[in-house]
Amino acid sequence: MPTQSLLLNTTTTLFFFLALWCPVRAQEVLSQDQPEALHRGIYELTLNTTGEAGNPYYKITFAVTFTRPDGSAVVAEGFFDGGNAFKVRAYCDTPGTWKWASSSNNVGLDGKSGTFEVVPSDLKGKLRQHPDDPYQFAYDNGDWFLHIGDTGYRFVVASEPYWKEYIDQAVEMGATKIRTWFAMDRGKVDALFTANGRDLSLFYWKEIERRILYTLRKHPDIVLQLIPYAEDTDRIRAYRAGDEAAQLIARYSQARWSSFPNVQWTITNDRKVLQQDTLSGREVHYDDINVMGEDMAKREPWGTLITNHQSRFNGYDHVDEAWSNLISLEDLDQVGGELILEYREKRKQPIVLDEDRYELYRYPMHARYYFRRFMWASLLSGGHATYGGLKTYLPYGGQNYSGPESSVAVGPEPYQGLDQGVSGYFDANRKGMLHQGGHDFRHIHAFFEHTGLTLVNMEPDDAFVGDDPYRWKCAHNDSTYIIYLANPSGTEPGTDYPKTEAPDVTLTLPRGSFSVTWFDPDSGAWYRDNNVEGSGQLTLKAPGSEDWIVLLQKL
């Protein structure tokens, strides 16, 4: 039994987490044709075409200039929403009186103007690069963003019946970012279009929006990483070749959702990027992605973050491109944070390990330990990580779906149970489909909530604790040290489990007195140890078996 005093029990830890999870406002974040909108919310304006309008996707141009109270202006493209209606949206990043003025090649949409008032709110706003630390994220209100990603590829796909259970329980698990794509078929985005392959299937787009809005209203601090092109290699290649329908996907997506505070763009998923003309399979050309990124950056009115995602072990080729706002990676067994540390040397941007192992694909033998270790190691490497549970890249087993347009349908896959598609994390655990891989993410929230710490300007420093990142990870500033003692059973992350012996760590602190507090990352319990003096080398031993966090703070 630990000899140190217990400071905080699991119930208190859960209280901290639930305080983060519960919705705190009943304000309407989307103001539709109203005189007021919320600060860091969305203002929506609707106008109607008149006369012979032509194809609303390719023939009608419609944009609105929004002028903020300080005189700065933003031009936002509008979008067709059915019938004669066109809409345009503004991300309300500044309180005060805004002005707007429309321009269009259609009389009904052209030459209109007006004002609206942006009033104070407690919304945190869009995700940004942290102003004080280029490797960290912050909300627009300045709050540090604790990145705990989850993979819910089919969350916004119309055929998924358990999408509410998925998002609600992902948040309860501790996720703060969800990866989700637009593909109803396996990686293909054909369902975005009607039978002619050019005009958009609006019911499908509106269903995507219903799920984005549900998340924004119920979980306003959760970020959705939208992947418009998913893994549709043909359409990705067609974009640079000038295919109007392929180009429409990005343009319409941005017009519709760039104003949303909970949206971030990832152009494609899991493609192998090459610089050669002969391509096959999942391979795309460097310039295919680069042209898409440049176009999206030019159009982007509200500073929504943009990145791309490549295949496993393929790195991130567009590090130096101006349009790229963060680095997204896919690898395996990154429990030492080596790849994050490598990319920190390439560009000062947030680095996200968005794919590693999944509970049901390349699965680790001890899921709960693996993903706990993976998440802490990534954070203390000065980066961010994403968990994966169910096979969310495949349709929910046995689900039939057809939409208002008869051409949009997906047939049943051979029944494979709830391991496919999106469903509730805790439901899947109760059914034995998952094995508690995300159970300890709530304790990460509790650690930072209880201490009041962030990782802003915390420097990764594995050498400080022995330079063996599979065993020890460390990040610190001049007065605070956060150390993770992984205590693995061996040297194979996929099969390792935490040892039953209590771990220790040897280090040399600078001069001064330091408090020593131990945090159990799989229970959320705290233990107070004796203070230590920073004079020479010292060894700290954890109060129990398995893995631990030790927090040292200068007194």
Segments making up each domain of the chain, as ranges: 5-12+452-554, 30-119, 147-397+404-446
φ, ψ for residue 434 (rounded to 5)? -115, 165
CATH 3.40.50.300 fits 147-397+404-446, yes or no: no
How far is residue 544's CA from residue 523's CA, in Å, rounded to a whole number? Answer: 12
Q: Which CATH class is domain 30-119?
A: mainly beta
* Cα–Cα distance, 420 to 360 (Å, whole number): 10
Query: What are the CA-CA distances from residue 25 to residues 172, 430, 439, 546 (Å)?
Result: 17, 31, 27, 40
Torsion, Cα 7 12 16 22, to 10 degrees, reads 180
Give how far Cα 292 sits from Cα of 174, 236, 248, 278, 322, Å: 32, 9, 11, 20, 12
Give the side-chain half-sphere CA count within 13 A for 384. Answer: 27
117 forms beta bridges with: 36, 97
pLDDT computed for residue 405 by the predictor: 56
Q: What is the pLDDT of residue 408?
A: 47
Which pLDDT belongs to residue 390? 95
Task: State pTM to two decimals.
Answer: 0.94
Do the domains 30-119 and 147-397+404-446 sit in the same CATH topology, yes or no? no
Beta bridge partners of 248: none
Block means of pLDDT (10 residues each) for the chain, 555 residues, are 46 46 63 97 98 91 98 99 98 99 98 98 98 99 99 95 96 99 92 95 96 98 99 98 98 99 99 96 98 99 99 98 99 98 99 98 97 99 98 75 52 57 95 96 99 99 98 98 99 97 97 98 98 93 98 98
pLDDT at 53: 75
pLDDT at 13: 47
- CATH code: domain 5-12+452-554 is 2.60.40
